[in-house]
């Protein structure tokens, strides 16, 4: 067999053999994976954009409480991606994790459909206020269904983009270019699912009923599992590589232990590495030593102790894997604020649309939950334009294979989010002061904030997809994807906390800025707070991005040599001073 046809990234086919590029991976496999993501997004967005209305109308919750519950639920779903990534990297692998958690997701959708279809699982319809609250059993059943859906999302989301990227061999220049195109089309598919959810399904929910509105995405989720399984023979699989968190903890324990014993890293220090061609982390390449975070190098200093105990001594590759993870943290932390603003998509943006004139012509009325279609349509238009025209144009001027770097792309998105929330504040002030009567102001006034926030998402989200996959090591790809997805969850929780803080400090739900009646609220003040947060965060991000040292910019110790399983540094070569590094 011609070895040039075999992948270089340790992926195997369904029979456990090194994958052949001619029969596996690439765009032969990707459509099956993308279809699973379309179905998952179809279901999740259909719930997210309309569940606030469901909790208010059907479960008789207050608007602020319903908004808080949904942002908390979205937060839990995305933070659970860390758990899903751990399961994938340590035990099941990405494909099996997607399959198992898709089944869990489908069960949750079935239960949610039952909750919306069976009258005994909801309180009686409210005719005269105060409305009868949902019983403990009704609430528990609904939240149980939502919990399973959140768990399913947590397992699918961190694996599906990484599993898709695994289908492209990083050692093949042509496939590398296709991988970056995959990230853009993957995001395109997410918005396609979102568009169907916020147009077709929201219309079904409003006109036919909640049971059909949740039942259709339930069917789509079941079909997507069948489609995912149908692509088994085309996939390239990465074997589970053990728990990265355990390896991280071993590096911390070994470095602290050696530090307390007086071990130091000097030019003549010996750093341990295995003699084999590959690292001792299953399925991963060896990583070269770098000069950053040199305290952690103490974990790899050769001592008289047994070298097989990783709690006492770690390999250079294991230490460098942990360093790579640490390098991601500042970028991760400085992009969370965007998710706080993005959480308004499914809460207050929808609540605004609910009391605005949504007529389109003389007979059709846009459902409030379909208004985010402004953003989804924008993304569906912008992604192909960016991929087909902007990337080649920028590539000629920057000589960068993607036109601009992932960090620059994220920066553009964060900058646009400032103006998105500023427009939202201005429009809400105009609506409250000049169009205070319900349905008196056209919903198309919301177009600028949806357009700008949608454009910001195109740049930020795809930039994060690229960045966290590329900067992660072989054994932490799912964790890398989960890191940026967890931002959505943490941002949702921070949004809930901010809503509660604003309520508490401005007079509560009866007299404060955020009330049940938006015409008596001061929602524009809340949007100005978010604008200020985005502006401050953008400045912090600029500092982080300038200081970040990625894979292509790291100062590596090129003077190390391997001898009998030991890496040693030459004492005669000067090293860099690392100015500007963290």
Question: Do residues 453 and 413 lie in contact, with contact meaning Cβ atoms separated by under 8 Å?
Answer: no
Q: Please report the pLDDT score of residue 75 as a whole number.
A: 83
Nearest-angstrom CA–CA distance, 390 and 14:
38
Q: Give every strand in the sheet of 566-568, ordered side by side.
A: 270-272, 566-568, 561-563
Q: Please report the pLDDT score of residue 561 as a whole number.
A: 38
As a whole number of angstroms, the longest Cα–Cα distance in the chain is 86
The Cα-based distances of 577 to 297, 400, 544, 558, 567 in angstroms read 17, 27, 19, 15, 21
**Which phi-psi region, left, alpha or beta, contains residue 329 (left: φ > 0; alpha: ψ -120 to 50)?**
alpha
Core vs surface per residue 19-49: b (16+ CB within 10 A) or e:
bebeebbbebbbebbbbbbbbbbbbbbbbbb
Eight-class DSSP state of 518:
G
The Cα-based distances of 112 to 108, 122, 293, 303 in angstroms read 6, 11, 48, 58
The Cα-based distances of 186 to 90, 157, 218, 235, 347 in angstroms read 25, 12, 21, 16, 25
Q: Please report the pLDDT score of residue 269 as a whole number.
A: 55
* 144-187: pLDDT as tens digits: 999 999 999 999 988 888 888 888 887 777 787 788 778 778 87
Q: Please report the pLDDT score of residue 491 as a whole number.
A: 85
* 42-54: pLDDT as tens digits: 888 888 777 878 8
Given a cut of 50, the residues of the chain with pLDDT beneath it are: 268, 553-582
Q: Please report the pLDDT score of residue 566 as a whole number.
A: 43
Q: Please report the pLDDT score of residue 551 as a whole number.
A: 65
Total-model pTM = 0.75
Cis check: omega of the bond before 130, within 30 degrees of 0: yes
């Amino acid at each position: 067999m011609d070895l040039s046809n075999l992948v270089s990234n340790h992926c195997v086919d369904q029979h456990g053999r090194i994958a052949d590029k001619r029969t596996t991976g690439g765009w032969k496999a990707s459509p099956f994976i993308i279809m699973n993501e379309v179905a998952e997004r179809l279901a999740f967005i259909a719930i997210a954009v309309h569940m606030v209305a469901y909790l208010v109308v059907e479960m008789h919750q207050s608007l602020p409480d319903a908004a808080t519950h949904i942002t908390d639920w979205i937060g839990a779903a995305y933070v659970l991606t860390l758990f899903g990534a751990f399961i994938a990297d340590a035990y099941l692998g990405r494909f099996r994790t997607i399959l198992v958690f898709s089944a869990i997701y489908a069960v949750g959708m079935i239960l949610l459909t039952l909750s919306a279809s069976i009258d005994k699982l909801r309180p009686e319809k409210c005719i005269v206020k105060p409305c009868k609250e949902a019983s403990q059993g009704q609430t528990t059943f609904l939240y149980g269904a939502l919990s399973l859906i959140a768990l399913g999302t947590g397992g699918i989301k961190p694996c599906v983009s990484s599993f898709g990227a695994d289908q492209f061999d990083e050692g093949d220049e042509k496939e590398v270019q296709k991988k970056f195109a995959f990230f853009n089309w993957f995001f395109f598919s997410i918005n396609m699912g979102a568009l169907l959810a916020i147009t077709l399904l929201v219309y079904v929910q409003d006109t036919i009923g909640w049971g059909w509105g949740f039942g259709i995405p339930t069917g789509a989720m079941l079909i997507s599992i069948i489609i995912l399984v149908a692509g088994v023979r085309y996939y390239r699989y990465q074997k589970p590589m053990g728990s990265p968190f355990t390896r991280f903890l071993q590096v911390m324990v070994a470095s602290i232990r050696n530090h307390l014993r007086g071990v130091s890293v000097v030019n003549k220090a010996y750093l341990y590495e295995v003699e084999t061609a590959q690292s001792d982390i299953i399925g991963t390449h060896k990583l070269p030593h770098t000069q950053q975070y040199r305290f952690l190098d103490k974990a790899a200093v050769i001592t008289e102790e047994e070298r097989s105990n990783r709690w006492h001594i770690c390999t250079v590759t294991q230490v460098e894997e942990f360093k790579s993870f640490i390098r991601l943290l500042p970028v991760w932390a400085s992009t969370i604020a965007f998710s706080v603003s993005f959480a308004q998509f499914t809460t207050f943006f929808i609540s605004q649309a609910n009391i605005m004139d949504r007529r389109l012509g003389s007979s059709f009325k846009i459902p409030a939950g379909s208004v985010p279609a402004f953003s989804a349509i924008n993304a569906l238009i912008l992604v192909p334009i960016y991929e087909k025209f902007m990337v080649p144009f920028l590539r000629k001027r920057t000589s960068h294979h993607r036109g601009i770097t992932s960090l620059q792309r994220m920066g553009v998105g964060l900058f646009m989010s400032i103006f998105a929330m500023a427009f939202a504040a201005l429009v809400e002030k105009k609506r409250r002061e000049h169009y205070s009567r319900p349905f008196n102001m056209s919903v198309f006034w919301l177009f600028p904030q949806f357009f700008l926030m949608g454009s910001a998402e195109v740049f930020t989200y795809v930039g994060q997809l690229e960045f966290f996959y590329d900067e992660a090591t072989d054994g932490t790809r799912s964790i890398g994807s989960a890191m940026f997805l967890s931002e959505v969850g943490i941002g949702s929780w921070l949004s809930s906390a901010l809503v509660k803080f604003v309520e508490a400090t401005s007079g509560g739900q009866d007299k404060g800025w955020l009330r049940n009646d938006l015409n008596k609220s001061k929602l524009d003040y809340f949007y100005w707070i978010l604008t200020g947060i985005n502006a401050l965060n953008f400045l912090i991000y600029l500092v982080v991005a300038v200081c970040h040292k990625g894979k292509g910019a790291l100062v590596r110790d090129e003077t190390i040599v391997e001898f009998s399983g030991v890496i040693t540094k030459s004492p005669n070569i000067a090293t860099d001073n690392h100015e500007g590094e963290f």
